[in-house]
Structure 1
Amino acid sequence: METTSIFSIASTNAQWLSARQATVAGNIANANVSSYKSLDTASFADTLANVTNKLELTNANHLTGTRSIGDVAIERSTKNVSLEEELVKSAEVRSQTELNTAITSSFHRMLLMTVKP
């Protein structure tokens, strides 16, 4: 099993949240277009699994490999855009972003406490 840094997971999550927010914003912007069908991102679990499966060592002596999230998979729905659902998704993205920031800040503070004299 590969070890993964909490900061790497937080970075991947932040990129996924950014892609999801952009998708939700696009849905809201196109809500009045009758032929437009809503879009959504693949789940974060699927995105994280895809990223961790792409780990590559650039040198046998390196402890971690290079990662790239690439494009987050976007799924097209068969239903029209519901503004209520999109606003709920937007609120979820905001709360998840705040949680990601809080956890990352806590780990950063703990890391700094271990290196202070």
Structure 2
Amino acid sequence: MNSIYLFGIASQRNTWLSVRQETITSNIAHANTPGYRARDVQPFAEVLQAVRPDLAASDPGHLRDTSTYGGGDAVTNEAAWHTTESGNSVSIERELVKSGEVNAAFSLNNGVIKAFHRMLLTSTKV
């Protein structure tokens, strides 16, 4: 049986989401630290591009995957958020929006895994 990469990718995405959530909570914790700059992690599409598995073509007639992972979420305009006089660039509102995005992405990721798992169980019932 061939390997199924969906579970590995989903696991990597959950790990990435937990790292992003840690970064967000660190930003919130340093909201009153003078000179602190808000941080964020590299988008998951870029992380996935770095570890993207190549699909095997066992026949010359098979098509090669020439697409690239791209896009992902649009980058927000950082200039739209304020920087305080102390040089701190943390915006609690922005960090809470990011936290909501992480929560939604985690729920979606787990929903896809559960649906795929049910499909595998259904297909293997004898």
Q: Which bin holds the TM-score, normalised by the shorter protein?
A: 0.7 to 0.9
Higher helix share: 1
Residue by residue over 1:41-80, the C-alpha shift from the partner in whole angstroms, topping out at 9 and shown as x without a partner, is 0001001111227x8xxxxxxxxxxxxxxxxxxxxx9x61
Query: Within 5 Å, which residues of 2 pair with 1:1-117?
Result: 5-52=5-52, 80-117=89-126
Unaligned runs of 5+ in 2: 55-77, 84-88
Structure 1 segments (4+ residues) deviating >3 Å: none
SS of 2:31's equivalent in the other structure is coil
TM-score (norm: length of structure 2): 0.68
SS at match of 1:31: coil
TM-score, normalized by length of structure 1? 0.73
Larger Rg: 2
- C-alpha RMSD over aligned residues: 2.2
Give the unaligned 5+ runs of structure 1.
56-76
**Alignment identity in percent?**
43
